[in-house]
Amino acid sequence: MPVGATEVVTKKPTISPFEATLRVAWKRAKQVGTQIYHSRNAMAGLIILLFFLSLAITAPWLAPYRPTQSVADATCSTLSVPATYLQPPCPAHPLGTNYNSNDIYSQVIWGTQISFIVGIASAVVATVVGTAVGLISGYVGGWIDEVLMRFNDVILSIPWLVLMIVVAAKVGVVDLTGLILVIGLTGWSVTARVIRSQVLSIKERMFVERAKMLGAPSSRILVRHAPRSCTTPGGSSSPGSASSSSCSAFTCSGTPSTKS
């Protein structure tokens, strides 16, 4: 270096933890997209999902009637006295009508919206509750872990569909919000077990030990450090929760004709 010259030190730009998390998530999303693209089964499932999603979005234009609207015509009736209820399938009503004179085809189309809303929202509730229970149980340990896991074992020992129906009947589910909460609050046990096992494996790792040595409280470790390593295992159960919740959407709420 020539005499009198000054050395220029370039510093690498620092990124926030949130931005780093977004980059990792984007990289992971691209990897998942590539895997789906090269898998026939995954592509078939994606096409089916997009088909029903398009039905849910375009329901106001595809369905000739509202789900609670009674038909005013009896063009499909085969009775000597025209009736608008229990009509057989015909061009005007491809799937016929029910006891309430509702067009069944329109109810099926509108029902996709309920299934998607219930499936996604209840899966989010189950994932949040299961993650919280698993983090506390795995990190704190002791009698808290024993109590939470024994309660979790009781929940797992009861068939989920039976448990959901009993709870829904007991609390009296009358709206969509209640249905979402019932399904979500009875479907967190598997996620809690997965998260707990993951926390048990990471709480002895170096980055957790360093956080403890630096004086980080347990609440900070549970909120900021541990969830980063548990997101993937915990989120792996979310698609299953969403699909099963969607299938159960009409179990507790009935058909769309019960909704105003």
Q: What span, in angstroms and rounded, lies between the C-alpha atoms of 188 and 41? A: 27
97 has which bridge partners? 103
User: Whole-angstrom Cα distance, residue 200 to residue 197?
Assistant: 5
φ/ψ region of 65 (left if φ > 0, alpha if ψ in -120 to 50, else beta) reads: beta
pLDDT of 10 = 55
Report the C-alpha gap between 164 and 15 in whole angstroms.
45
Would you give the DSSP letter of residue 103? B
DSSP state of 66: -
| Residue 127 CA: distances (Å) to CA of 32, 119, 139, 236 | 20, 12, 18, 10
At residue 147, the pLDDT reads 92
pLDDT of residue 252: 46
- Sign of the CA dihedral with 251 first, then 115, 161, and 104 last: positive
Tell me the sheet residues that pair with 102. Answer: 70
What was the pLDDT predicted at 233?
A: 57
Q: Look at residue 227 in the predicted model and tell me its pLDDT.
A: 65
C-alpha to C-alpha distance for 152 and 188, rounded to whole angstroms: 9
pLDDT at 258: 44
First to last CA, the chain: 81
Is pTM, for the whole model, over 0.85?
no
What is the residue whose two structure tokens read 């409280």? 217
Name which of 232, 164, 224 is nearest 198 in CA terms.
232
What 3-state class would DSSP assign to 173? coil
Low-confidence ranges of the chain (pLDDT < 70): 1-18, 74, 77-82, 174, 207, 216-260
Best CA proximity match to 90, nearest among 113, 64, 109? 64
Structural domain boundaries in the chain: 17-61, 115-228
- The one-character DSSP state at 221 is I
pLDDT score of 151: 92
Among 120, 127, 124, residue whose Cα is nearest residue 195: 127
